[in-house]
């Protein structure tokens, strides 16, 4: 059990440090990038909580919250392309993926510690 906790902490550290470096490497419109990350993060967590409460399945919540959040981000980019005529941005999709990964990692972290300490 201690080995699982250590592995989880080390893995989380490496993933978050990689994502942090990627976010800092963004050179175009940082406020826009941060907004994409934050909104994807929040949408992912909200969807995770809603799906896990409705279906009572954490595994299903992990799968669908990420998929639905990414679909929402993709539809927003299609809206930008077709309606706003500002173009489709793969950088925005990448930022959405960062936010989704952060959201899923935070939920995984919370669930793991809740199970470890029987909360």
For the chain (119 residues), the mean pLDDT of every run of 10, in chain order, is 63 70 62 83 89 86 91 91 86 89 87 77
Res 17: pLDDT: 72
pTM value > 0.75: no
Q: How far apart are the C-alpha atoms of 76 and 7, rounded to whole Å?
A: 37
Is residue 101 within 8 A of residue 43, CB to CB? The reply is: no
Q: Determine the Cα–Cα distance for residues 100 and 25; give it in Å rounded to an integer.
A: 18
Distance CA 72, CA 81 (A): 14
pLDDT attached to residue 67: 93
**Domains of the chain, residue spans:** 2-116
- pLDDT for 52 equals 86
Q: How far is CA 85 from the centre of its chain?
A: 27
- What the block records as the tokens of 4 is 């699982």
pLDDT of residue 64: 92
Between CA 20 and CA 86 the distance in angstroms is 27
Q: Residue 95 in 3-state DSSP?
A: helix
Q: CA gyration radius for the chain?
A: 16
């Amino acid at each position: 059990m201690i080995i699982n906790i250590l592995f989880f902490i080390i893995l989380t550290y490496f993933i978050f440090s990689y994502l942090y470096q990627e976010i800092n490497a963004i050179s175009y419109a940082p406020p826009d990038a941060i907004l994409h990350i934050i909104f994807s993060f929040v949408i992912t967590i909200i969807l995770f909580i809603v799906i896990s409460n409705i279906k009572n399945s954490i595994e299903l919540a992990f799968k669908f919250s990420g998929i639905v959040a990414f679909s929402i981000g993709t539809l927003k980019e299609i809206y930008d392309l077709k309606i706003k005529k500002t173009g489709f941005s793969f950088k925005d999709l990448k930022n959405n993926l960062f936010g989704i990964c952060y959201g899923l990692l935070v939920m995984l972290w919370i669930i793991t510690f809740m199970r470890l300490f029987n909360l």
